[in-house]
C-alpha cells in the first residue's frame, strides 16, 4: 500500500510538472522579418523591358563599385571608431574631435560621390522609358522602415524632451 502511494505521488508530481511546462510550448516563433536583407539591385529585374545583357552589365558595375569602395568603407569604420573614442574621453580635445569629424565627413562625401557615380552609370545603361521607371522605383525598393513604422502605426514612440533612447542614462553634471 505504501509503495503504491509513493508511485501515485511521484506520478502526480511528474504530471503537474508537465502541465506547468505546457504553456511554454504555446509561444510561437519570434516576430520580425528574419532572413537576409533584400538585394536592392534585384529590384532592377522589375524594370519593364530590361534585358539580360543590361542586368549583367549592372551586376558588373556593382561588383566593380563594391571592390572600389571596400577600402573606403574600412577607413570610414576606423574614422567613426576614432571619433567615438575621442568623444568618450573625460575632457575631449576639441581640435582633435574637429579633425576626426572633418576626416569622417570627407570619407562620407567620397562614398556618396561613388554611389552617385554608380547610379549614373546604371542609368546610362537604360533606355528613356526604363530611366523613368528606375527614377520612380528607386525609393520604393527594399524593406523601408519595417512593419508598423508607417503613418498611423505604432511608430517609433513619442518624442520630445525626456524621450528617446538613453535619455535616462545621461551622466549627472
Whole-number mean pLDDT of the chain?
Answer: 78
Contact at 8 Å (CB) between 121 and 61? yes
Give the Cα separation of 84 and 92 in Å (integer). Answer: 10
The cell numbers describing 158, all together, are 513619442
Query: Has residue 82 been placed in a domain?
Result: yes
Residue 99 belongs to some domain of the structure: yes
Q: Is residue 158 part of a domain?
A: no
Predicted confidence (pLDDT) per residue in 59-105, tens digit: 999 999 999 999 999 999 999 999 999 999 899 888 999 999 999 99
CATH of the domain at 83: 1.20.120
Count how many Cα atoms sit within 13 Å of the Cα of residue 41 in the half-sphere of its side chain.
Answer: 17
Cα 77–Cα 81–Cα 87 angle in degrees, nearest 5: 145
Reported in sequence order, the residue ranges of 74-147 that DSSP labels E, i.e. its strands, are: none
Residue 37 in any domain: the answer is no
In this structure, is residue 164 part of a structural domain?
Answer: no
pLDDT tens digit sequence for 39-57? 667 778 888 898 999 999 9
pLDDT at 32: 54
Q: Which three cell numbers stand for residue 14?
A: 511528474
| Residue indicated by cell numbers 529590384 | 43
Q: What is the Cα–Cα distance from 102 to 113, expressed in whole angstroms?
A: 16
**Residue 115 belongs to a domain:** yes
d(CA 148, CA 154): 5
Residue 105 lies in a domain: yes
Q: Which residue has the higher pLDDT, 1 or 143?
A: 1
Total structural domains in the chain?
A: 1
Helix (H, G, I), strand (E, B) or coil at 93: coil
Residue 163 makes CB contacts below 8 A (sequence gap 6+) with: 157
Determine the structural domain holding residue 136 and report its residue range: 50-140
Q: In whole angstroms, what is the distance from residue 51 CA to residue 71 CA?
A: 32
Residue 103 maps to a domain: yes
Q: Is 108 helix (H, G, I), strand (E, B) or coil?
A: helix
* DSSP character at residue 155: T
Residue 157 has pLDDT above 70, yes or no: no
Amino acid at each position: 500500500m505504501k509503495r503504491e502511494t509513493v508511485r501515485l505521488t511521484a506520478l502526480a508530481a511528474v504530471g503537474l510538472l508537465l502541465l506547468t511546462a505546457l504553456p511554454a510550448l504555446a509561444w510561437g516563433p519570434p516576430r520580425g522579418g528574419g532572413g537576409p536583407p533584400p538585394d536592392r539591385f534585384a529590384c532592377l529585374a522589375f524594370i519593364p523591358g530590361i534585358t539580360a545583357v543590361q542586368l549583367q552589365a549592372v551586376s558588373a558595375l556593382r561588383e566593380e563599385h563594391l571592390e572600389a569602395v571596400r577600402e573606403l568603407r574600412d577607413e570610414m569604420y576606423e574614422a567613426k571608431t576614432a571619433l567615438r573614442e575621442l568623444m568618450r574621453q573625460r575632457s575631449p580635445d576639441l581640435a582633435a574631435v574637429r579633425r576626426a569629424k572633418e576626416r569622417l565627413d570627407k570619407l562620407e562625401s567620397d562614398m556618396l560621390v561613388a554611389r552617385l557615380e554608380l547610379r549614373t552609370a546604371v542609368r546610362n545603361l537604360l533606355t528613356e522609358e526604363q530611366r523613368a521607371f528606375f527614377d520612380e522605383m528607386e525609393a520604393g525598393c527594399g524593406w523601408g522602415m519595417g512593419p508598423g513604422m508607417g503613418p498611423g502605426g505604432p511608430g517609433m514612440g513619442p518624442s520630445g524632451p525626456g524621450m528617446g533612447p538613453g535619455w535616462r542614462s545621461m551622466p549627472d553634471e
